[in-house]
Amino acid sequence: MRGLGFALFLLVSYSIVITVLYYQLRHRVRASKDPLLVLPKKDRIAHARLLLDRQQEEYEFARQQLLEDQIRKFTTHERKGS
């Protein structure tokens, strides 16, 4: 009986070690694919805000260009019509 208990202990210990190593490996692989995953929450939020600000600036610039183009087309159309 004593040997069976020890074997069971080794089996449980082995499975725990393998599980921990598996999760560590999975974390490393995910981090290599997307480094942002390993950043602290504060840094991820700051990065997300930076990306959002950049996207908003690009949207505003494109919208301003579109408005300027429409105004330019309207003013040239008005000149041709007069």
Are the C-beta atoms of residues 30 and 37 closer than 8 Å to each other? Answer: yes
Mean pLDDT throughout 62-81? 87
- pLDDT, tens digit, for every residue of 27-60? 888 878 887 777 888 998 999 999 999 999 999 9
Q: Which position has the higher pLDDT, 31 or 8?
A: 8
pTM over 0.95: no
CA distances from 54 to 37, 47, 57, 65, 79 (A): 21, 11, 5, 17, 37
CA distance 53 to 60: 10
Residue 1 confidence (pLDDT) above 70:
no
The reported pLDDT for the residue numbered 30 is: 82
